């Protein structure tokens, strides 16, 4: 009878072999194999996501390299590599371990394998979206999985179309990936939620810094005064209209098969023209998915899908889930991250989309079927 250590080694070997098999499929589709280092500079991810990333990643440091982070995924280092010296167009694949702290889901693995496929191509973004989705779906084989899709770009366009201040729009966009905070801000900006009493007292004071020390925390008096001025400007701004809130809620509530979702969003765009271009992109993607053999008549679309995933997704998002296994994370996920290439490209940019598969989950589901 094999001991537990032998079983764990066998499982790990099987997962590694499956990861390698998946990577070979993506390489056959034209992708170049890359292998980003396990340790990544922490400052890049902290600049992108702020200190929130510390709750999800393992951070270490040394005197030579400074603060480092065990890679929480492959996309950021692949984008950095491509923007530094990649050709156009380009396709990449990789296989290896990622590391995520699981404080909210302690039963889930905090170290696991991913195999991915990334496309950098400005020729036809809709076709690239369909290419990645269809290739990931084919690589998953005959395991029974439910596909879910969405589009962060439609929600972002809706926020941009609100009749309110640029500061409020920026705050709402920043919290698209934090649904509760987003809703709290929207309710406050619409006058549905009261302003905290402490803030009202602060704004009512003629000199709120009169009794403050020269420094408060890490901010000096000038920074605090600037923040108070912004709060006063916000308090003076008119509330977001109930009609705008209703249109935004209508978008968030879209959850149908893709053709009906597209029709519904077209109807909403009549009253909120700001989303028309994003809906056009959705329609082009729908056509491209159909051309790739995807059954769009049964493909689920949820406008709010992807709002709790990695924050760099800014367009098409998708995931594949095991039916009846709510205890499992998605077996595969992906999406479009054009804005990330702008951030890491230092002035350069290129449309980009990718997806990853967790080979360990795939093997687990195969064994259970």
State the CATH number of the domain containing residue 132. Answer: 3.30.930.10
For residues 14 and 125, state if they share a domain. Answer: yes
Cα–Cα distance for residue pair 330/322, rounded to 1 Å: 7
Give per-residue pLDDT as tens, 316-368. 999 999 988 888 889 999 999 999 899 888 878 999 999 999 999 999 999 88
Same domain, 260 and 148: yes
Residues 283 and 325 in one domain: yes
Sign of CA dihedral 12, 14, 18, 21: positive
Q: Tell me, yes or no, whether 337 and 216 share the same domain.
A: no
Shared domain for 48 and 153, answered yes or no, is: no
How does pLDDT run across 214-271, given as a tens digit for each residue? 555 555 566 665 666 666 666 667 999 999 999 999 999 999 999 999 999 999 999 9
Given a cut of 70, is residue 185 above it in pLDDT?
yes
Q: Are residues 135 and 264 in the same domain?
A: yes
- Domain containing 318 equals 4-32+72-158+246-368
Q: Are 185 and 330 part of one and the same domain? A: no
Would strands 90-99 and 352-357 be described as parallel, antiparallel, or unpaired? unpaired
Instruction: Indicate if 153 and 258 belong to the same structural domain.
Output: yes
Angle between helices 166-174 and 221-236 (to 10 degrees): 110
Q: What is the pLDDT of residue 192?
A: 81
Domain total of the chain: 3
Whether residue 263 sits in one domain with residue 232: no
**Does pLDDT of 164 surpass 80?**
yes
Q: Last residue of some domain: 210, 240, 270?
A: 240
Instruction: Please state the rounded mean pLDDT for residues 186-190.
Output: 93
Of 240, 267, 282, which residue constitutes the final position of a domain?
Answer: 240
* 104 has pLDDT over 70: no
Question: Looking at the structure, do residues 285 and 211 belong to the same domain, yes or no?
Answer: no
Last residue of a domain, one of 218, 240, 262: 240
What is the C-alpha to C-alpha distance for residues 167 and 121, in angstroms, rounded to an integer? 32
4 pLDDT more than 80? no
Answer for the pair 338, 150: CB distance below 8 angstroms, yes or no. Answer: no
Q: What is the pLDDT of residue 54?
A: 66
* Domain identity same for 256 and 307: yes
Residue 9 shares a structural domain with residue 126: yes
Q: N- to C-terminal Cα distance for the chain? A: 25
């Amino acid at each position: 009878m094999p001991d537990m250590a032998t079983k764990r080694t066998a499982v790990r070997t099987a997962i590694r072999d499956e990861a390698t098999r998946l990577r070979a499929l993506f390489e056959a589709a034209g992708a170049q194999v890359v292998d980003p280092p396990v340790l990544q500079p922490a400052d890049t991810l902290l600049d992108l996501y702020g200190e929130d990333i510390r709750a999800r990643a393992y951070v270490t440091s040394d005197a030579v390299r400074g603060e480092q982070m065990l890679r929480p995924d492959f996309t950021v280092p692949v984008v950095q590599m491509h923007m530094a010296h990649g050709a156009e167009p380009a396709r990449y694949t990789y296989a290896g371990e990622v590391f995520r702290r699981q404080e909210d889901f302690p039963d889930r693995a905090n170290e696991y394998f991913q195999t991915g496929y990334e496309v950098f191509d400005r020729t036809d973004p809709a076709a690239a979206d369909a290419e990645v989705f269809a290739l990931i779906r084919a690589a998953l084989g005959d395991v029974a999985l439910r596909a879910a899709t969405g589009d962060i770009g439609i929600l972002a366009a809706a926020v941009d179309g609100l009749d309110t201040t640029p500061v409020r729009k920026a705050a709402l966009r920043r919290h698209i990936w934090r649904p509760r905070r987003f809703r709290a801000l929207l309710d406050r900006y619409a006058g549905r939620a009261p302003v905290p009493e402490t803030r009202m007292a602060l704004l009512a004071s003629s000199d709120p810094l009169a009794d403050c020390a020269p420094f408060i925390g890490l901010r000096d008096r000038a920074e605090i005064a600037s923040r108070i001025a912004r709060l006063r400007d916000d308090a003076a701004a008119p509330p977001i209209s109930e009609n705008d809130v209703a249109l935004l809620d209508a978008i968030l509530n879209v959850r149908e098969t893709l053709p009906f979702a597209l029709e519904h969003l077209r109807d909403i765009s009549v009253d909120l023209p700001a989303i028309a271009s994003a809906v056009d992109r959705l329609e082009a993607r729908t056509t491209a998915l159909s051309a790739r053999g995807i059954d769009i008549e049964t493909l689920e679309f949820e406008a709010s899908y992807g709002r709790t995933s990695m924050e760099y997704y800014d367009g098409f998002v998708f995931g594949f889930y095991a039916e009846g296994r709510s205890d499992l994370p998605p077996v595969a996920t992906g999406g479009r991250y054009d804005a990330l290439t702008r951030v890491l490209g230092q002035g350069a940019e290129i449309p980009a989309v990718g997806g990853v598969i967790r080979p360990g989950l795939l093997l687990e589901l195969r064994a259970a079927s």
